[in-house]
A and B are shown apart, each in its own frame.
Chain A
């Protein structure tokens, strides 16, 4: 494999890991606050649809992005209402959200646009273009570092940079701010937080809203950056890979980035390896596709370190009376 091939795989890795990373960080906020979220997939799908629909109608990618975030936050708020206020089963709420998003997106898409659930293809203004970083062309000639900068780092959608920027921001918020401290505390020991006079419910809602915003970005990335329009089930289980990544990263932001890069790399490799052979045996593409899930199960089984989630996760908080 030459430099060009390696760069193109890594380039694809960045592109494919972006939605995973955004969704993974999204899940991190709500799960760290003690609200399990298996509805990442649904929120992303809803956001992808909202973004594409509004971008198609208005012709503006930015309005599309806003709409995507709006839809995702609204979905997150509904899920939050079930899981936090009504003290319902958080897992079942997630399942319902996924199913509701899948049904509503297909249904409304078909009703509004009459293209079998797809939204109309977006023009150049309706979707995000790629950004060339400064001096990308000038340094392209520099050996090794030049191509890495101009081909790998430069020339991505703005959401790719946002996603990777969110990693240090999330780490800072989580470990260096009062909000982050409270967020972690509410996921580990909500009673202590309550005793300190801080509202558990309000904190959890804030976390769930942040989750909504980030899922909105992830969903919009699918339909108005990477793709140009919404297609049925276009998130294709990525929300669950993001969930797997979150567990794999043990609910920490920087490991989350590396895990998403790994899973994105596997995805890129899988596309590249169609029909490739190893020791004269064709590598089944499905084996690589299943690898993120298999790795997560192995991790969960405690064979490569132990993944222990936030202690108060999955349980709605009830004040004692």
Chain B
């Protein structure tokens, strides 16, 4: 074994992600500098663009809502040792469920439409992840590859559905009919004036509930225990009487259902119809969010807010600095994924050495922690 001791918990959970984020921002700043713009101006523009006024905050929260769902989807699967890269496809297909239910029930009341659409989003999104989960569990097909394939199959399926099935007569673009006013999820702006004209809607409370729910699921239930056991050591989990294949299937389905909530937010709450590519790569942002948030609901909530702010701030960037736009945010996001997900080895050993050097108590604590075993 290596002589290095594990980091204290706070450094592992907070310091490391923050360092990685700073590095990502720094590198992106260098890119901005390279093209002759001031990175500090850009950062300030992003911050004010994200939190400057109610309108900005409304948009930030709307993006964050989506990212909470996809972040949780990635994190839940990750606890079971599965990498669900198919959030995009699952959310996209879930849109089909939402629009079908919403159009069928639109003349009733949103209080009836919303729960039905929620179930539909979960069922459709879950089903799109169930198949890769089933194939992984029963046939050994690598879930990463199958979920990538399912993203593309979903794209083809949805283009077909939008063009041939859902497009009402008289509409030229590939989009469904509008959901009637009565069936739409109310915007928060309709009763909270500062958020007027922003897309943030009641779905954000479902995102908050999902954060709490996933916390309980993972750390407070038998299922969660089995899930983490499988993620840590599938062989040991099997000896403990856990059916790994059943767990894989259930976990992937739940993960897909969570990703499907993006469709609930977008279709019922924002667009009020099904449009092409409404997911806008939220599934991939979810990977960054889950990595940044250390697969913990609190972290995911914060990371989703961060990425929501980056997206909204990035939108405003083009009005402040000509020539800069949201692609800067895509670069930051890619670097966050790279540094937190794939280049952990960059900071961790150095940090571990630093901690051992400067604080003997930390060292003692770390040693005892290691002997007790890893807690998560």
Q: Which residues of A line the B interface, CB within 8 A?
A: 38, 81-83, 85-93, 95-97, 99-100, 102-104, 106-108, 110-111, 237, 240, 243-244, 247, 284, 286-287, 289-290, 293-294, 296-297, 300-302, 309, 321
Contact = CB atoms under 8 A, between A and B. Distances in A.
A284 B160 CA distance: 7
A321 B2 contact: yes
Given A92-B342, A96-B338, A290 B153 contact: yes
Most buried by B among A96, A111, A300, A321: A96
Interface in B333-369: 333-335, 337-338, 341-346
A286 B156 contact: yes
B139 A293 contact: no
Interface of B: 1-2, 31, 35, 83, 85, 135, 139-142, 144-146, 148-150, 152-153, 156-157, 159-160, 164, 284, 287, 291, 323, 325, 327-328, 330-331, 333-335, 337-338, 341-346
14 contacts: A38-B85, A82-B342, A83-B342, A96-B335, A103-B328, A103-B331, A104-B331, A107-B327, A111-B35, A240-B148, A284-B160, A287-B160, A293-B149, A297-B141
B323 A110 contact: yes
A296 B344 CA distance: 32
Nearest to B344: A88
B291 A92 contact: yes
B141 A302 contact: yes
Nearest to A42: B334
Most buried by A among B142, B146, B284: B142
Given A107-B331, A286-B157, A302-B141, A86 B83 contact: no
B35 A296 contact: no
A26 B20 CA distance: 30
Nearest to B140: A302
A300 B334 contact: no
B346 A99 contact: no
A86 B144 CA distance: 21
B334 A103 contact: yes
B159 A286 contact: yes
A86 B346 contact: yes
Given A103-B327, A110-B327, A82 B153 contact: no
B109 to A, nearest CB: 35
Contacts of A104: 31, 331
A248 to B, nearest CB: 11
